[in-house]
């Protein structure tokens, strides 16, 4: 816990403006944006949702359009067929079981088609302000390299992080680790020579990237 506190203090100084990059105004918009963000950059998603959210404003709107039209609307985010299917499935269940409103509990959110703990936690934290850590690819990678977590299972990484980080810091932790993963601790070519956490890092391969 001491190490985790130190890491978060350093990251806070390094990324004071760390935040969720996905643009949204409602829980539904964040849910849709997070589904689209799988295997896609946040910047691309924001470009797509800029028009998408004008066209579809309620969950019911997504259920009243043909799957082919929705696929066309989100095509540039990649894996558009599966994403469209999940979006329609989510919205059908939201309309049927939750009176058209995105639910605000983890069990309810993960009951939606295509929604796992990562997506659910991102929505809980950022749309509802509830303590949660969404373990996306950046949080997963950075926390394992730093030694904050030791698992190849994102759900277990979440549990490990929640055990060593105070609940009131969960949301902020997700933002800080994500920013560090995007800017420095990249998947293929991490910039270890620029990393403010180099001395605290447990990743065995860090030396070969310190050039």
Alpha carbons within 13 A on the beta-carbon side of 201: 24
Contacts of 83 (CB under 8 A, 6+ apart): 35, 36, 38, 74, 77
Query: Of the residues 136, 183, 189, 206, which is catalytic?
Result: 136
Q: Of 125, 121, 99, which Cα lies nearest the Cα of 110?
A: 121
Q: CB count, 10 Å around CB of 153?
A: 12
Q: Is 118 a catalytic residue?
A: yes
The two structure tokens encoding residue 42? 């946040």
Contacts of 82 (CB under 8 A, 6+ apart): 114
Query: Of the residues 73, 83, 93, 118, which is catalytic?
Result: 118
Report the Cα–Cα distance between both ends of the chain, in Å, rounded: 30
The two structure tokens encoding residue 152? 């190849």
Q: Is 73 a catalytic residue?
A: no
Q: Which residue has the tokens 């030694």?
A: 147
Q: How far apart are CA 109 and CA 92, in angstroms?
A: 13
Task: List the catalytic residues.
Answer: 118, 136
């Amino acid at each position: 816990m001491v190490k985790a506190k130190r890491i978060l203090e350093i990251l806070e100084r390094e990324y004071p403006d760390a935040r969720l990059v996905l643009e949204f105004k409602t829980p539904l918009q964040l849910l849709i944006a997070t589904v689209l963000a799988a295997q896609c950059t946040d910047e691309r998603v924001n470009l797509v949702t800029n028009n998408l959210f004008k066209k579809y404003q309620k969950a019911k709107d997504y259920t009243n359009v043909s799957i082919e039209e929705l696929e066309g609307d989100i095509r540039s985010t990649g894996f558009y067929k599966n994403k469209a299917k999940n979006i329609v499935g989510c919205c059908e269940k939201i309309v049927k079981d939750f009176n058209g409103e995105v639910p605000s509990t983890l069990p309810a959110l993960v009951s939606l088609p295509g929604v796992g703990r990562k997506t659910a936690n991102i929505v809980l934290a950022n749309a509802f302000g509830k303590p949660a850590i969404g373990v996306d690819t950046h949080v997963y990678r950075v926390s394992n390299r730093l030694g904050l977590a030791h698992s190849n299972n994102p759900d277990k990484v979440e549990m490990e992080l929640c055990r060593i980080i105070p609940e009131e810091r969960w949301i902020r932790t997700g933002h800080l680790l994500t920013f560090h993963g995007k800017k420095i601790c990249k998947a293929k070519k991490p910039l270890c020579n620029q990393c403010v956490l180099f001395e605290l890092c447990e990743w065995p391969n860090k030396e070969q990237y310190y050039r």
